[in-house]
Amino acid sequence: MKFPKGTDGGTISNPQDEGVARELMSFVGAIEIETGSGHGFMLADQGTLIAAYFRSDKGEFRAKEALSQMAAETERDDEQCFSLRIYSPAEFSQAVRISEAESLLLAGGEPAPERGEDVPDISPTPPPDAPEKTDPALSASPRLLDEARLRKIMNQPGVIAVSAFFEGFPVQSLGDEDFEHVAASAEDFMRAGSKIAHEMKIGDLDQMILETAENKFIIAPCGDLYLCIFTTADAQLGLIRVVLRSIQKEINS
């Protein structure tokens, strides 16, 4: 999965140093963790962990399972590297939304460790369901689609996968295709199409379609997001496009 790039905050070569915990109490962003057998990240907000992910030869781990796996790895592995990526309020908000879509959020947040603990956990504020959180950046985040709408598209004959993306990052996906590598290009393509439509004075862009001998790919604006629909080459696009237009009208009304 692809998170906001953020600003380079440097690396931590000795995470057990007691000065590190103090420094992380004011940190907001992602902490990338590399060990000898895996890698992952923690999303942190001034001493509170919001989300976590870890992948190794044992598999993929999310939320609290990821934290447990990281702790086990860092206890027995001397090869550790912690890299900091500082987030702006908008980048942090986007990272929270992606974490929510990928089931990485930690319920209620996890407290940062005391000095001397092995893993410098830094947990951002509680997940979006916490009513106390009033960060204005969160209110500026994209409005996600009801999953039922995505499934309505996914259930059409010939549809292989569907994804909604925002600012070049997939935030909701159904199906097995990896949209992380194409989301940014798809958004650039859509913006270029919108510019052409504007310059030709033919109205607002509704949909764009890419066709190859093997597949078809539909890209369309939908509220705050863009939708990508990946289909087989023989898929009949008529019904898919009708369903897509109905969803666009529901979102924009």
Global pTM? 0.45
pLDDT value for 216: 92
Cα 103 to chain centroid distance, Å, stands at 10
What does the pLDDT average to over 155-183?
Answer: 82
Fold of 147-252: Beta-Lactamase (3.30.450)
Distance CA 224, CA 67 (A): 32
Closest CA to 42 of 93, 3, 76, 91: 3
* C-alpha–C-alpha distance, residues 10 and 83, integer Å: 6
Bridge partners for 217 per DSSP: 210, 230
Element (H, E) at 196: helix 183-199
Average pLDDT over residues 110-134: 39
Query: Which of 163, 137, 146 is closest to 218 using CA atoms?
Result: 163
Q: Quick one: pLDDT at residue 125?
A: 39
Summarised one tens digit per residue, pLDDT across range 103-119 is 898 865 444 443 333 33
Task: Report the alpha-carbon distance of residue 225 to residue 232 in Å, rounded.
Answer: 23
Please state, in angstroms and rounded to a whole number, the distance separating the CA atoms of residues 124 and 52: 10
Lowest mean pLDDT among 16-30, 81-95, 163-177, 198-212: 16-30
The ranges of the chain annotated as CATH 3.30.450.30 are: 147-252
What pLDDT shows up at residue 13? 64
Cβ-count burial 151-178 (b if 16+ within 10 Å, e if not): eebbebebbbbbbbbbbbbbbbbbeebe
